[in-house]
């Protein structure tokens, strides 16, 4: 497909309105002189990376020097939240600008509907060459994320940037640099299993630790088997949670785990604060490993001369609980530990870099923002909003509440100061709005709130209700996941057995 525009995006802007040309020229660092090379886009998804591990987000231990270097050249969104706490649902929202429940029923055979276009499909229609290098798992092409990509390399199941970076660079080297491109790069480096090669694996943890955590970090799904201060061997972990009943990690769930831990047949081991610190250290080692590989990626782009005409967005799809709720996981809660993610956008040449945006935003806002920067119309019905004004230091209306969903019958509303989670009914249920309208905000369905102020909780309940009523229903036809892929996911601790 040929590129339908005869001028670069930045040059075409200059031909329209003088004030628009000036503002965009300052934002993107271009002038209204000779046509510029077309602006390209790179989107990097660092799976399971917590925002608070980056120096740019306040970590004083300097375990991410390369990501922090990138942050100095980018606009940093300090309060960015994912629309779901799991990879599959979060990326579906990220690629579509819609909430996960609008794309399909939130079950463990979720396949996003083809009724709504993905980012690569949109950009390919505008003549962008679209390539991706992913690390398998929930980004496997069987889930439909390859839509719109001319090249979609599944480099390694549950792989690292070590695996996904070489195919990405190889694809970039084969491009015609006069045509714009979109590259999507993905990695599971911060995902369990956290333990990474020397010297990174124990760089922030005591290798001589002899508690229950030493066994947990070595097993492939070991950290997924830590519940309520107990470590269950992975082969016994599936019976610790009743997946048919679980909808929130509440006191009842914790009490059930504590009773099960008394069963000698399950071989549960106590998990103390020293164990928690040890696992956190191993996770930080994984983050350091990820950061080193990300630095190689940045230097590779610099060597190819791609930093002056490319927009680079770096995000994570969700965070990770690191013992805060007695869990080392991201599936069972909608707390900030699981939803607060890094989100940084570097404009060509690093213009405006180092700015921090405090206004709460969602990953759902990324698609309309990137399309706005590229002068591409967003798809009709997209729920996100363009954050382009924030990139230049201006505000966008009032600070908005950010909403999120989970497959375990949870939805949440996150205001600038507080979060309220509603539990007990599937996010795609047609009865959810009616239940929200009639449920008192001081009842047990809202027990996951972080405030006792009923006026605050009531306000968030009303906002949640308005949000749900405005969403389009999911498609009725649900496709089926390939049984082999489903089994591979189960072997990594997903979907139950």
Residue 479 is assigned to a structural domain of this protein: no
Which segment of 4-13, 351-360, 363-372, 411-420 scores lowest on mean pLDDT? Answer: 4-13
* Angstrom distance (rounded) from CA 149 to CA 169: 16
CATH number of the domain that residue 358 is part of: 3.40.720.10
Residue 492 is assigned to a structural domain of this protein: no
3-state secondary structure (DSSP) of residue 86: coil
Decide if pLDDT at 306 tops 50: yes
Residues pairing with 183 in the sheet? 42, 131
Residue 396 is assigned to a structural domain of this protein: no
Decide if pLDDT at 95 tops 90: yes
H or E segment and range at residue 312: strand 310-315
The average pLDDT across 110-131 equals: 94
Cα angle 441, 443, 445 (rounded to 5 degrees) comes to 90
| Predicted local confidence at residue 493, as pLDDT | 63
Beta-carbon contacts of 361 under 8 Å, excluding residues fewer than 6 positions away, are: 77, 79, 80, 81, 343, 387, 390, 400, 402
* Angstrom distance (rounded) from CA 106 to CA 104: 6
For residues 49 and 293, the answer to whether their CB atoms sit within 8 Å is: no
Last residue of a domain, which of 338, 369, 391? 391
Shared-domain flag, residues 183 and 230: no
* Angstrom distance (rounded) from CA 493 to CA 160: 18
| Predicted local confidence at residue 11, as pLDDT | 32
Structure tokens at 45: 């998804």
For residues 400 and 413, the answer to whether their CB atoms sit within 8 Å is: no
Decide which of 165 and 453 is more confident: 165
Residue 202 is assigned to a structural domain of this protein: no
Residue 133 is assigned to a structural domain of this protein: yes
H or E segment and range at residue 404: strand 402-406
| Distance from the Cα of residue 378 to its chain's centroid | 20
For residues 328 and 322, the answer to whether their CB atoms sit within 8 Å is: yes
Shared-domain flag, residues 116 and 160: yes
Decide if pLDDT at 128 tops 60: yes
DSSP state, residue 146: T
Decide if pLDDT at 496 tops 70: no
Residue 204 is assigned to a structural domain of this protein: no
Decide if pLDDT at 244 tops 60: no
- Of the pLDDT bands very low, low, confident and very high (cuts 50, 70, 90), residue 9 is very low
Shared-domain flag, residues 249 and 333: no
Shared-domain flag, residues 231 and 354: no
Shared-domain flag, residues 306 and 413: no
Which segment of 241-250, 418-427, 477-486 scores lowest on mean pLDDT? Answer: 241-250
Out of 10-24, 229-243, 362-376, 399-413, give the one with best mean pLDDT: 362-376
The average pLDDT across 277-298 equals: 98
- The closest alpha carbon to 289, from 184, 207, 203, belongs to 203
Shared-domain flag, residues 302 and 223: no
Q: Give the domain range for residue 83.
A: 9-194+279-391
| Predicted local confidence at residue 449, as pLDDT | 73
Decide if pLDDT at 320 tops 90: yes
* Angstrom distance (rounded) from CA 207 to CA 231: 19
R_g of the chain, CA atoms, integer Å = 22
* Angstrom distance (rounded) from CA 74 to CA 351: 8
As for how many domains the chain has, the answer is: 3
* Angstrom distance (rounded) from CA 476 to CA 495: 22
Structure tokens at 71: 């942050």
Residue 342 is assigned to a structural domain of this protein: yes
Structure tokens at 18: 């003088």
Residue 481 is assigned to a structural domain of this protein: no
Convert the pLDDT of each residue in 459-475 to its tens digit.
Answer: 999 999 999 999 988 77
Number of other residues whose CB lies within 10 A of the CB of residue 276: 19
C-alpha dihedral sign at 119, 124, 126, 129: positive
* Angstrom distance (rounded) from CA 39 to CA 41: 7
C-alpha dihedral sign at 428, 430, 436, 437: positive
Shared-domain flag, residues 348 and 464: no
Average pLDDT, the chain: 87
Number of other residues whose CB lies within 10 A of the CB of residue 381: 13
Shared-domain flag, residues 145 and 236: no
Burial readout 468-481 (b: 16 or more C-beta within 10 A, e: otherwise): beebeebbeeeeeb
* Angstrom distance (rounded) from CA 131 to CA 123: 11
H or E segment and range at residue 465: helix 454-470
The average pLDDT across 38-62 equals: 96
Shared-domain flag, residues 360 and 316: yes
Shared-domain flag, residues 376 and 428: no
For residues 60 and 148, the answer to whether their CB atoms sit within 8 Å is: no
For residues 261 and 230, the answer to whether their CB atoms sit within 8 Å is: yes
- Of the pLDDT bands very low, low, confident and very high (cuts 50, 70, 90), residue 282 is very high
Decide if pLDDT at 15 tops 50: no
Shared-domain flag, residues 358 and 427: no
Decide if pLDDT at 448 tops 70: no
Query: Strand 310-315 and strand 343-346: pairing?
Result: antiparallel
For residues 106 and 410, the answer to whether their CB atoms sit within 8 Å is: no
Shared-domain flag, residues 298 and 342: yes
For residues 112 and 363, the answer to whether their CB atoms sit within 8 Å is: no
The average pLDDT across 313-340 equals: 94
Please report where in the chains the tokens 């942050």 appear, as a residue: 71
Q: What is the DSSP string of 245-307?
A: T-----HHHHHHHHHHTT-GGGT-EE--HHHHHHHHHHHHHHHHHHHHHHHHHHHHHHHTT-S
Last residue of a domain, which of 229, 244, 269? 269
Residues pairing with 101 in the sheet? none
| Distance from the Cα of residue 178 to its chain's centroid | 31
The strands making up 129-134's β-sheet, listed across from edge to edge, are: 151-154, 129-134, 181-187, 40-46, 310-315, 343-346, 75-77, 356-357
Cα angle 195, 363, 288 (rounded to 5 degrees) comes to 25
Decide if pLDDT at 4 tops 70: no
C-alpha dihedral sign at 286, 315, 401, 96: negative
| Predicted local confidence at residue 110, as pLDDT | 85
């Amino acid at each position: 497909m040929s590129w339908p525009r005869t001028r670069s995006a930045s040059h075409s802007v200059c031909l329209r309105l003088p004030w628009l040309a000036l503002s965009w020229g300052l934002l993107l660092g271009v002038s209204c002189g000779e046509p510029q090379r077309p602006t390209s886009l790179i989107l990097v998804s660092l799976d399971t990376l917590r925002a608070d591990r980056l120096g740019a987000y306040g970590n004083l231990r300097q375990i991410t020097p390369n990501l922090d270097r990138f942050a100095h050249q980018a606009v940093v969104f300090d309060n960015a939240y994912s629309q779901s706490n799991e990879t599959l649902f979060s990326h579906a929202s990220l690629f579509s600008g819609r909430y996960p429940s609008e794309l399909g029923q939130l079950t463990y055979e979720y396949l996003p509907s083809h009724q709504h276009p993905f980012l690569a499909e949109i950009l390919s229609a505008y003549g962008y060459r679209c390539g991706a290098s992913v690390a398998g798992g929930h980004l496997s092409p069987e889930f439909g994320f390859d839509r719109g990509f001319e090249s979609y390399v599944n480099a390694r199941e549950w792989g690292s940037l070590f695996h996904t970076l070489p195919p990405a660079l190889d694809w970039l080297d084969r491009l015609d640099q006069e045509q714009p491109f979109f590259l999507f790069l993905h990695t599971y480096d911060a995902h369990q299993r956290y333990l990474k090669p020397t010297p990174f694996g124990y760089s922030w943890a005591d290798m001589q630790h002899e508690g229950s955590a030493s066994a947990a970090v070595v097993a492939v799904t070991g950290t997924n088997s830590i519940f309520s201060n107990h470590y269950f061997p992975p082969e016994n972990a599936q019976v610790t949670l009743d997946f048919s009943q679980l909808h929130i990690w509440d006191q009842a769930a914790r009490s059930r785990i504590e009773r099960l831990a008394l069963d000698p047949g399950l071989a549960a081991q106590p998990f103390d604060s020293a164990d928690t610190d040890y696992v956190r250290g191993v996770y930080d080692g994984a983050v350091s490993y990820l950061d080193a590989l990300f630095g190689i990626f940045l230097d590779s782009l610099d060597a190819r001369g791609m930093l002056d005409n490319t927009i680079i967005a770096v995000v994570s799809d969700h965070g990770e609980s690191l013992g805060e709720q007695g869990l080392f996981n991201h599936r069972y809660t909608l707390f900030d530990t699981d939803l607060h993610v890094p989100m940084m956008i570097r404009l060509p040449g690093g213009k405006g870099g180092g700015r921090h945006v405090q206004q709460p935003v969602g990953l759902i806002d990324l698609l309309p923002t990137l399309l706005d920067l590229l002068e591409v119309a967003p798809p009709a019905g997209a729920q996100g909003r363009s954050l382009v004004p924030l990139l230049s230091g201006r505000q966008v209306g009032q600070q908005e509440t950010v909403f999120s969903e989970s497959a375990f019958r949870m939805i949440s509303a996150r205001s600038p100061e507080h979060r309220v989670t509603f539990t007990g009914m599937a996010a795609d249920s047609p009865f959810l709005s009616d239940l929200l309208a009639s449920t008192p905000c001081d009842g047990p369905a809202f027990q996951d709130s972080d405030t006792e102020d009923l006026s605050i909780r009531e306000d968030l309940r009303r906002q949640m209700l308005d949000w749900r009523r405005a969403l389009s229903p999911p498609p009725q036809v649900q496709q089926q996941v390939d049984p082999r892929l489903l089994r591979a996911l189960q072997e990594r601790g997903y979907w139950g057995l």
